[in-house]
Amino acid sequence: MPSTNKLPQWLTIALAFPLTILNGWVLLQVVHYFQPLVNIVVSAILLAFVLDYPIKFFQKQGVNRYLAIGGVLLLTVILVVALAFTLVPLILEQIDELARILPAWIESGTQQLQALQNWVTTQSLPANLSSLPTQILDKLSNQLQNFTGKIVSLAVDTIGKFVNVLLTVVLTIYMVLNGQSLWDGLFQWLPQHIGMKIRQSLKEDFHNYFIGQATVGAVLSVVLILIFVALKVPLALLFGLAIGFCSLFPFGTGIGITIVSLLIGLKNFWLGVEVLTVAVAVDQVNANFIAPRLLGSLTGLNPVWVVISLLLGIKLAGVLGLLLAIPIASFIKDMADSWRAGEFRVTSNEQGVGDRM
């Protein structure tokens, strides 16, 4: 039987492509079949990864590991409980208020666009331009109502999944306590230098993207909330947190700022312009001065691959997939670059060890 390495390169690629598509389809079916278990496991791994940083910080100060774990978990529980009794009720209240006042904002936007249309009519412009404001409002109203309905339903669905949240918390605790031995056991199946390279790349990619991006998003949220309160923007807390959350995703900050500005503009056009101007200015300062110091060079991914990764992420795991798509894509790129550079060749010593196993 001829070896595949003797086949022409074009034929090897032609054979590999349908197999890759088939494997991807099978993976998609497996992920959907085991939902929500996959999301629970991935969320627990991600939370354990985040909690490992303060644990290691306390260990460096000379604290025993199990004592550090207990302290970090206790602090996390206190923080979550504090947020549950303070911030979360305010957010839910503002979401409910947004759903109630959005029709009035749309009516206000209608009046503002009607005034604009009356002005356009007096300028003797073509008919298609004079009716443009009304057409824009009709489309915008439908989209905003659908968008708000999705936000409310998402919040209700999230609150209702107490069992999944409880399972995630329990699994996170087990991952924090026994995660090191678990990963050691899994990576023992790989040659030593390959396992070390994979672990290092995973840690760097997730740290550079997730930890840094979350920090940048938190800074952006706090600054915008304070500015929105100073400008007397309605629902300042909700809108500031929404823009900060959107900043976790590539291109998300611009989308979040645009949506918030449009919503505010329905109530008060000039206030919407102020919100747009201030939010863009703060985002530029954040992107050009704060983010580079925290994130450095994030992924090195081509923007096309970024978009494809986001689409695959939301297809596989929804919002969680959006959060993880870029660091996973960056990790795959690092592995592909290492493989192309020949860093994954098995040495003779490792081959001998593998033969003896």
Residue 161, CB-side half-sphere exposure with 13 Å CA sphere: 15
Using CA atoms, how far apart are residues 94 and 268, in angstroms rounded to an integer?
A: 18
The string of pLDDT tens digits covering residues 287-305 is 777 666 555 445 566 677 7
The string of pLDDT tens digits covering residues 135-147 is 555 565 565 555 5
Residue type, 352: G
DSSP 211: I
Cβ neighbourhood burial of 271 (10 Å; 0-12, 13-18, 19+)? middle
Q: What is the pLDDT of residue 354?
A: 45
On the question of pLDDT at 268 being above 70, the answer is yes
On the question of pLDDT at 116 being above 50, the answer is yes
Residue in 73, 295, 52, 35 with CA at minimum distance from that of residue 169: 73
| Residue 277 binned pLDDT confidence (cut-offs 50, 70, 90) | very high
- Confirm if 107 and 145 have CB atoms less than 8 A apart: no
Q: CA-CA distances (angstroms) from residue 223 to 146, 210, 217, 273?
A: 29, 20, 10, 18
| Residue 81 binned pLDDT confidence (cut-offs 50, 70, 90) | confident
| Residue 312 binned pLDDT confidence (cut-offs 50, 70, 90) | confident
Q: What is the pLDDT of residue 356?
A: 43
On the question of pLDDT at 353 being above 50, the answer is no
Residue in 263, 132, 142 with CA at minimum distance from that of residue 255: 263
The string of pLDDT tens digits covering residues 216-249 is 888 889 999 999 999 888 888 888 888 888 887 7
Q: What is the pLDDT of residue 288?
A: 73
Is the entire prediction scored with pTM above 0.85? no
Q: Which residues does 301 contact at the CB level (< 8 Å), separation at least 6?
A: 309, 326, 329, 330, 333
Using CA atoms, how far apart are residues 64 and 161, in angstroms rounded to an integer?
A: 35
Q: What is the pLDDT of residue 154?
A: 53
Look at residue 137 and give its three-state secondary structure: helix
More confident site: 54 or 185:
54
